Amino acid sequence: MPIYNRRRIVLLIVSLILAAGITFFEYTYFSSMAKKEQTVRVIVAGSNISAGSRIDGMGSVKDIPASAYVKDMLRADRPVSGFAKVDISKGSYILRSMISESKVPVIKDGMRRVTIGANLVSALAGRIKAGDYVDVGYIPGKETKEGSGQPAVIAENVQIYNIVNNKAGDTDKPKDNKDNQYDTDSVIPAAVTLIVTPEQAVTIKDMESRGSLFLLGY
């Protein structure tokens, strides 16, 4: 076979291979372009949500690329309920870390936090938690002094900000695997912080110095 014909055959074969390669590349490229990225339906705030408010029914559904999804986001296929820990703007993603199952104490303008000593008895046998509302009662000390006053309710319908044990740990914080599951002292209240007005705070601390305080539950 003449050299000239062999070269033509080689060039033909190379051309066919290149054509096949280009065709395969174009097919792969345009096929991948035609395929849309999978999406995930998540929950966003349908309106502005204030801290402490219930979020039930305040969410809207939004489709986002699966690559943008993070575990803290709430998926639309699960019920959404609880209380907002922080202010959430309309259209913002509602994250698990933004939600509490129980009422969230909110310090409104003009309010203050004040802490009183507590024990298992004075704190309703520990059956209270942050967000609950209580009254504060006062009992004069045994060594009654002039001006100690009479037993009375000195603050009504005040919200509990938090409750800690004698190690300053939250009594309602779930235990993890590293904690001693038999450590009952961790759930016994040692101090309770309340959200009150400045005037109530002064009264509460004054009466605490004169006698003992206890909480009345609803």
Tens-binned pLDDT, residue by residue, of the chain (218 aa): 555 566 666 666 767 777 777 777 666 665 665 556 689 999 999 999 998 899 998 999 999 998 899 999 999 988 889 999 889 999 999 999 899 888 888 888 999 999 999 999 999 998 888 889 999 999 998 765 666 778 999 999 999 999 999 887 877 665 455 555 545 677 889 999 999 999 999 999 999 999 999 999 98
- φ, ψ (nearest 5 deg) of residue 26: -65, -40
Q: Is 175 left (phi over 0), alpha (psi -120 to 50) or beta?
A: beta
Torsion angle of C-alpha atoms 202, 204, 205, 211, degrees rounded to 10: 140
Domain with CATH 3.90.1210 in the chain: 39-100
Q: Give yes or no for a contact between 102 and 83, defined as CB atoms under 8 angstroms apart.
A: yes
Q: CA separation (Å) from 94 to 13, 44, 63, 154?
A: 60, 5, 14, 39
Q: Give yes or no for a contact between 60 and 92, defined as CB atoms under 8 angstroms apart.
A: no
Find all residues with CB under 8 Å of 159, minimum gap 6, and list them.
Answer: 105, 106, 131, 132, 133, 194, 195
Neighbours of 161 (CB within 10 A): 19
Query: Could you tell me the end-to-end alpha-carbon distance of the chain, in angstroms, rounded to an integer?
Result: 106
Give this prediction's pTM: 0.61
| CATH match of 39-100 with 3.90.1210 | yes
- φ, ψ (nearest 5 deg) of residue 49: -120, 125
